Amino acid sequence: MGRVFFDTKKNIVDVTAAKVLTNSDSGTTFIIDQTSGAYEITLPLMSTIDRGWNAEFIIGTVASNAVTIANNTAEDTIVGGVAGADGGAATHAETAVDEIVFISGAVLGDRVTIVSNGVNYFVSGYAADVAHITVS
């Protein structure tokens, strides 16, 4: 028989300004606030994290500011894509790229999940309109 866990909660962190993530941020759900201006959330260097590092990013407060999730400048390790409820062609990167951007115009609940295998950050996302989140 498997173990049963009660009263488990996700670790939720509100983000309102630039932030550099670390290995200890794995498993966190970041709620993005676009009202405080454009800013960047920097992913940890691959050499500083454990295989399986993961995080989720969700638009929690909408405004006209872009929020970027980016590699450390020493790496290009983001691959994957975002689908949209609008039926538009998915934004997708098959080769490693620099960043994910929640654009001005993103809506409440647009989200991406990032998981690392120790070599790349694999991104999967969902937006009301596929253009709300770019992977490039």
Beta-carbon count within 10 A of 68 CB: 17
**What is the tens place of the pLDDT at every residue in 6-55?**
667 889 999 999 999 999 999 999 999 999 999 999 999 999 999 999 99
Q: Which of 1-5, 78-82, 113-117 has the highest mean pLDDT?
A: 113-117
Which amino acid is present at 27? G
Closest CA to 123 of 111, 134, 113: 113
Helices and strands in the chain, H and E counts:
0, 12
Predicted confidence at residue 87, as pLDDT, reads 80
**C-alpha radius of gyration, the chain, whole number:** 15
Name 52's Cβ contacts closer than 8 Å, sequence gap at least 6. Answer: 26, 115, 116, 117
Predicted confidence at residue 8, as pLDDT, reads 75
DSSP code, position 122: E
Write 10-14 long-range contacts (CB < 8 A, 24+).
14/60
Quickly state the pLDDT bin for 1 (edges 50, 70, 90): low
Determine if the pTM surpasses 0.75. Answer: yes
